Structure 1
């Protein structure tokens, strides 16, 4: 069994698509109209056939509440792996990304947490 798609609730699909592609560097794989919203998935530019990230609209009240509560508690909604957290931190800071946690060593990993501007905290991790 493989993970083929994982979703992330976002407040605004267009804003999220722009941030995740232009700022983070993911590539759009799917963008299909589905009623008033869209099925938008992204992939790593290094793995076109890898796990897709679905930018899921948070229109359901439970989704909004979940997103709001984990954000308020400082819990990242998901985690992305990077080869060098410090380098990625510096690159994203230059693009105006706001971090809630600077690169920090925690045992075997180094991590940092930033705000995706779409209602989520995202953790980047270097193993």
Structure 2
């Protein structure tokens, strides 16, 4: 068993598509009209057959309180792994992305958290090689 699709609630699918593709670098996998919305998924350019992220319309009445509570408590909706946190952080800051947590060491990972412009906080994670950690 493996994860095929996971979703993130977004306020505006057009804005989310632009941010997740143009800024973060994902590519659209599915873009299927469904009434007023779309079945809109993106995938990593590095793993186009990997897990799809559904940019799900957040119009259900439970979504806004849920997202507001997560953001208020500083809890990221998702985590994305990167090879070099510092390089990705610099690239995204250069693209105008707003970080609520700059890169920091957290044991076996380095992490940072940004605002996805769609009502979510997203965590970036770089795995740290324990052999290279200094005591």
TM-score, length-scaled by structure 2: 0.93
Task: Determine which structure has more spread, i.e. the larger CA radius of gyration.
Answer: 2
**Aligned residue pair count:** 127
SS at match of 2:2: coil
SS at match of 1:16: helix
Within 1, Cα distance between the matches of 2:64 and 2:40?
18
TM-score, length-scaled by structure 1: 0.98
Unaligned runs of 5+ in 2: 128-135
- Residue 73 of structure 1 aligns with which residue? 73
Superposed displacement of residue 78, structure 1:
0.3
Within 2, Cα distance between the matches of 1:64 and 1:38?
19
Matched, 1:61 2:31: no
Matched, 1:121 2:121: yes
Within 2, Cα distance between the matches of 1:75 and 1:3?
22
Matched, 1:38 2:38: yes
Superposed displacement of residue 88, structure 1:
0.4
Q: Which runs of 4+ in 1 moved over 3 A?
A: none
Q: Deviations over 1:82-119 (max 9, x none)?
A: 00101100000000000000100000100000000000
